[in-house]
Amino acid sequence: PNITLSHGDIDANFFQHQPFLDNAIKETGFKLKSFAAGAASHVGLYSKKYKSFNELPNGATVAIPNDPVNQGRALLLLQQAKLIELKDSNNHLSALKDISANPKNLKFTEVEGPQTARAIDDVDLAFGYPHYLRLAKTADPESALLFDDNTNKRYAILFVVRDDYQDKDNKLQKFVEIYQNSPKVKAALDSDFGPTLWFPGWK
């Protein structure tokens, strides 16, 4: 979608949060910017074998995404759970090499982001996205041992445009306003994620 947007084939896209956009710009040099924020989804740590982090055995296996942005998000959540410590506790692009303490000697399995929903059956703990879990039907999206909190709007999905985009007749702005205020959109988000598992990134 960013290639298509950069080439001018579309006026806007809606699939990425700010850390993903920042990383894409860094890697490609695309001249893109955020236009407005949409919904943000919670992420969680899930286990089908254990009911608390205290039950996790030494050497427990943990599934996390293999891409830089979502792996960083997973590691921040593991740090929030006090299962690991990171060299820089605020670095949203932390990688496995940036773990400074791992008292339970967790063993990490890196998979494609959506596949964490499938990997939950094969590991002791998995970083998960409620939407993918709902689609895969491998675990109850509401059953996480820990969710991230509502204060982190960094991961709200953005409407993104080119730097030189001109919103003629406020067409995109009108579309965004409908998205942010429509009861039908809210109902769709409630259905896709669950009413408690998303929150408005624009408020």
**What domains are there in the chain, each with its CATH number?**
2-41+152-200 (3.40.190.10), 44-147 (3.40.190.10)
201/105 Cα distance (integer angstroms): 35
Give mean pLDDT, residues 53-65. Answer: 98
Helix axes 171-181, 183-193, angle to 10 degrees: 60
Q: What is the pLDDT of residues 17-38, one digit of tens each?
A: 999 999 999 999 999 999 999 9
pLDDT, tens only, 122-180: 999 999 998 899 999 999 999 999 999 766 788 999 999 999 999 999 999 999 999 99
- The residues that bridge with 39 in the sheet, in sequence order, are 200
Question: Can you tell me the mean pLDDT for 71-98?
Answer: 95
Answer for the pair 25, 158: CB distance below 8 angstroms, yes or no: no
Give pTM, 2 decimals. 0.86
